Amino acid sequence: MNDKPRTGHDLIQDSLKTLDGSPGVYRMLNAASEVLYVGKARNLKARVSNYARPSGHSARIARMIHETASMMFLTTRTELEALLLEQNLIKQLKPRYNVLLRDDKSFPNILISSEHPYPQIKKHRGKKSEKGAYFGPFASAGAVNRTLNQLQKVFLLRNCSDSMFESRTRPCLQFQIKRCSAPCVEKISREGYATLVGDATRFLEGKTTSVQADLARSMAEASEAMEFERAAALRDRIKALTQVQQTQGINPANVAEADVVALHLEHGQACVQVFFIRANQSWGNRDFYPKTGAGAEEPEIMEAFLTQFYDDKDPPRLVLLSHTVENPDLVAEALAVRAGRKVELAVPLRGEKAELVENAARNARESLARRMAESTTQNKLLVGLAEAFDLDTPPQRIEVYDNSHIQGTNAVGGMIVAGAEGFLKSQYRKFNIKSDAGANSDDFGMMKEVLTRRFERLLKEDPERKTDMWPDLLLIDGGAGQVSAVAGIMSELGVEDIPMVGVAKGIDRDAGKEEFHRPGERPFALQRNDPVLYFIQRLRDEAHRWAIGAHRAKRAKAVSLTPLDDIPGIGAARKRALLAHFGSAKAVARAGLADLQAVEGISDTMAKTISDFFAARG
């Protein structure tokens, strides 16, 4: 008798017996219990019955059905719940046949704080916990920095921290170069500064015409009153405001708030461009390259992108699309729930909105062409790397390790990752050295700690190597000694099948004369003009840059630490309040109990705790 397990259409047909017409989510798994696909349905039985048909499927769906060895089902109350659950499972499980947004990041905003008599203007990223007016999102930190730089010229708002503001006794350089009105030393009244804040807020809300008109009127009044210095300052601000408007590029007249989302699909690869329009101003654009689920079409890709992109972001009132989505009403409802108000999806065919979409689509097309060209070059380099180091196949994931410290202080290990798509910065890691190896400037000991922590975690999370998080090649900064040590570490961990190469500086530590070391092999070098050599140099330099950056950040944090950090109950907010009130940690230590109780946010009990802490220290 044949006891071979049922798979494919037969297996799916059997699953129908247990289903009804409820909404829900289904998972299709292969023989190794790996999730192939996660889908949602308004009617589970009707949706799954489509897969039971032996024909009429696209090549992608036919392959998926053929590999299906089991299915899992979870019913929900509504189709909207099914959609939200589906996207959570896709992000968590990363199934092969689903569309997946891989490089989703938060976006920066501009914040005009309201917790200080003289509000600060600054870049903000993350949770909006600080009180104030937020404007964004901006496509990148660079877009925010450029806008802030220009706004400082126009509105002269401070960007210094509150503690620095309180400690000033004379104007800083920002005042000298006419980028701040120096409220810290009362070069401007509170009322005058409030007017500047109001002007900046109106500008960021899109009311640029009224701001410019008010400035022009004030300049004329100053000129008539023969206040020529003030008139010249207002003239400079008007000129700077004009430059801001010119550098913003596309500023739609009839679209106050929208995200423009355009998709270009070619040879199974997709690029999605998102342009941010706020207050009738363009605040930049960002490109994304979602995984297309082994051949999904535009409507499915667009729907998956929108639901995953706005999973942790507030959508605008209008989202302009280059392609329709599979379930527009359902997606609009999901985005409305996220925003707490109505969100409209539209595919414009004419007018200014259509021009915005066409511009975004052109950017998507050009970005994908560049990426495909770069990918071709990158694949050639990976093939060359495999040939140079006698690897069985071109590596798809390369991990490069480096350490950074100064005489054993603030020791940090760094790991960067590269592959067919270039540097995978979202997967970079830094390791604060916890053992005595850092304090003893023991490079071998630091490398052992880093690799042990990295691979013990990997062995725990993915012992069967089902994910793409396992490296195909390790590059180590160092020569034969380091390679031998690393080989010993990996042997202790039971991971001996990952190729490793040490990159040593070679003669005179000259770039271009690098020597490469492999366990049990003689060192060798590559030709100075070999593209693979340049590629390895870039990998090593990026690892060094990452480790140095992590070390400097740790060192800067250590420098900023004060005795206040050791007091129980003193967090960032209370620390800021104490330093702003007293000027320094030393002054806090000398303060009496009554003085401590006078600080806003410091209760009588906390004041006693602070006083007792410094008293115990003598």
- The domain locations on the chain are 8-97, 109-247, 257-369, 397-545, 563-617
> Which helix H or strand E contains 601, and what residues bound it?
none
**Cα gap 256→273, rounded to integer Å:** 19
DSSP state of 4: P
What is the rounded (10 degree) CA torsion for 200, 206, 212, 213? Answer: -120
**Cα gap 179→175, rounded to integer Å:** 6
Name every residue whose Cβ is closer than 8 Å to that of residue 4 and which is 6 or more positions away in sequence: none
Name every residue whose Cβ is closer than 8 Å to that of residue 159 and which is 6 or more positions away in sequence: 120, 121, 122, 148, 152, 174, 180
Name every residue whose Cβ is closer than 8 Å to that of residue 237 and which is 6 or more positions away in sequence: 153, 154, 155, 156, 215
pLDDT at 361 over 70: yes
pLDDT band at 82 (very low <50, low <70, confident <90, very high): very high
- Over residues 181-188, the mean pLDDT reads 91
Question: What does pTM read for this prediction?
Answer: 0.72
pLDDT at 188 over 50: yes
Handedness of CA 206, 208, 209, 213 (dihedral sign): positive
- Least trusted range by pLDDT, from 329-343, 367-381, 583-597: 583-597
pLDDT per residue over 501-548, tens digit each?
A: 999 876 655 556 789 999 988 999 998 888 999 999 999 999 989 988
Burial class (CB in 10 A: 0-12, 13-18, 19+), 479: middle
Q: Give me the pLDDT at residue 226, please.
A: 79
- Amino acid (1-letter code) at residue 41: A
pLDDT band at 264 (very low <50, low <70, confident <90, very high): very high
Q: How far is CA 487 from CA 402, 429, 454, 480, 491, in A?
A: 16, 21, 15, 10, 6
pLDDT at 1 over 50: no
- The token pair that represents 436 in the structure block: 């005595």
Q: Which CATH class is domain 8-97?
A: alpha beta
- Least trusted range by pLDDT, from 61-65, 263-267, 273-277, 555-559: 555-559
Q: Give me the pLDDT at residue 481, please.
A: 87
CB 477 within 8 A of CB 501: no
- Over residues 59-76, the mean pLDDT reads 93
Say if domain 563-617 classifies as CATH 1.10.150.20. Answer: yes
pLDDT > 70: what percent of the chain? 90
pLDDT at 559 over 70: no
pLDDT band at 223 (very low <50, low <70, confident <90, very high): confident
- Least trusted range by pLDDT, from 93-97, 175-179, 191-195: 175-179
pLDDT band at 587 (very low <50, low <70, confident <90, very high): confident
Q: Give me the pLDDT at residue 196, please.
A: 87
pLDDT at 329 over 70: yes
- Over residues 394-416, the mean pLDDT reads 82
Identify which has the larger pLDDT, 553 or 599. Answer: 599
- Over residues 47-52, the mean pLDDT reads 91
Identify which has the larger pLDDT, 300 or 283. Answer: 300
- The token pair that represents 493 in the structure block: 């961990």
Q: How far is CA 282 from CA 286, 291, 329, 348, 426, in A?
A: 12, 27, 27, 18, 27
- Over residues 93-119, the mean pLDDT reads 87
Residue recorded with tokens 């992108």: 305
Q: Give me the pLDDT at residue 337, please.
A: 93
DSSP state of 564: G
pLDDT at 29 over 90: yes
pLDDT band at 253 (very low <50, low <70, confident <90, very high): confident
Q: Give me the pLDDT at residue 477, please.
A: 86
Instruction: Give the three-class secondary structure for 295.
Output: coil
pLDDT band at 74 (very low <50, low <70, confident <90, very high): very high
DSSP state of 296: -
- Over residues 102-131, the mean pLDDT reads 86
Same CATH topology for 257-369 and 397-545: the answer is yes
Q: Give me the pLDDT at residue 208, please.
A: 64
- Least trusted range by pLDDT, from 95-104, 250-259, 601-610: 250-259
pLDDT at 231 over 80: no
Specify the CATH superfamily of domain 397-545.
UvrC, RNAse H endonuclease domain (3.30.420.340)
What is the rounded (10 degree) CA torsion for 528, 532, 533, 536? Answer: 170
pLDDT band at 225 (very low <50, low <70, confident <90, very high): confident
- Least trusted range by pLDDT, from 58-72, 224-238, 306-320, 585-599: 224-238
Into which CATH architecture does domain 257-369 fall? 2-Layer Sandwich (3.30)
pLDDT at 407 over 60: no
**Cα gap 589→430, rounded to integer Å:** 35
pLDDT per residue over 418-445, tens digit each?
A: 998 889 988 999 998 887 766 666 778 8
pLDDT at 241 over 70: no
- Over residues 60-88, the mean pLDDT reads 93
Q: How far is CA 174 from CA 178, 189, 232, 456, in A?
A: 6, 18, 18, 50
CB 485 within 8 A of CB 473: no
